[in-house]
Amino acid sequence: MPNFEIAICPVTPYAQNCSLVWDKTSKRGAVIDPGGDVARLLDVIGELGLVIEKIVLTHGHIDHAGGAAELREALQAKSSASGGTGIVPIEGPHIADKFLLDDLAKQGARVGIQGARPVTPDLWLEEGGTLDIAGQTYSILHCPGHTPGSLVFVNAEARLAFVGDVIFRGSVGRTDFPYGDSEALIKAITDKLLPLGDDLTFICGHGEPSTIGEERQSNPFL
């Protein structure tokens, strides 16, 4: 089995599943979707003894990306102080979500989340590319509908995916935003996620993990 571990840390009033993923041997890894509660995330990272090498974003909503700028600054300061490179890049989402990342402070003000700042990723990600997380290779799928730039990261070897808010246990992502597109969302799930195989487990942005097989059989939206 792949040599990595995962800790899920719910953050923000929306209980968004921020994931810490790290290599068991080196303790080096990544943070996926740090939506907020950065002080608590830093405490968990410290307790686990992790060295975070990158921050990864599935899409540009406040509860997934609102803490990215603050977390990067804190991690870079820690790295510099300990003699490291002081570089912790942010990777993802797709560039189609740039307008959301530019608007993070206003998103936060609208929903009562303080301290969110706009953030510009060091690397925009696209379908067809790959992403390294804790020494594991993930393929990148562009699954718009919830947001225009929503991405899914798939580790075929480990039979695992991080899906953001594209699909949940028993549900799918909201599309009642001005930029939402329910038809595009269902098409992305049907054409790109369901073919990944019933045994693939996914970690979603909210709630419990599920499998493609469970959702194929029981998800009322599919």
The encoded tokens of residue 118 equal 């706009």
**Number of folded domains that form the chain:** 1
Cα 29 from chain centre: 14
DSSP state of 192: I
pLDDT 10s digits, 63-87: 999 999 999 999 999 888 888 888 9
* Distance separating alpha carbons of residues 197 and 15, to the nearest angstrom: 28
Residue 26's domain comprises 4-218
Cβ contacts of 206-212, under 8 Å, gap ≥ 24: 206/14, 206/15, 206/16, 206/17, 206/165, 206/168, 207/17, 207/168, 207/169, 208/169, 209/169, 210/168, 210/169, 210/170
Residue segments in the chain with a per-residue pLDDT below the cut of 50: none
The encoded tokens of residue 78 equal 């820690």
pLDDT computed for residue 1 by the predictor: 58
Q: Look-up: residue for tokens 């947001």? A: 147
The dihedral over CA atoms of 132, 22, 87, 143, expressed in degrees to the nearest 10, equals: 40
The enclosing domain of 178 has a CATH number of 3.60.15.10
Cα 72 from chain centre: 15
Neighbours of 176 (CB within 10 A): 6
pLDDT computed for residue 83 by the predictor: 83
* Distance separating alpha carbons of residues 182 and 146, to the nearest angstrom: 7
> How buried is residue 110: exposed, middle or buried, by Cβ count under 10 Å (0-12/13-18/19+)?
exposed
**Which amino acid does the sequence have at 36?**
G
Per-residue H/E/C for 74-98: HHHHHHHHCCCCCCCCEECCCHHHH
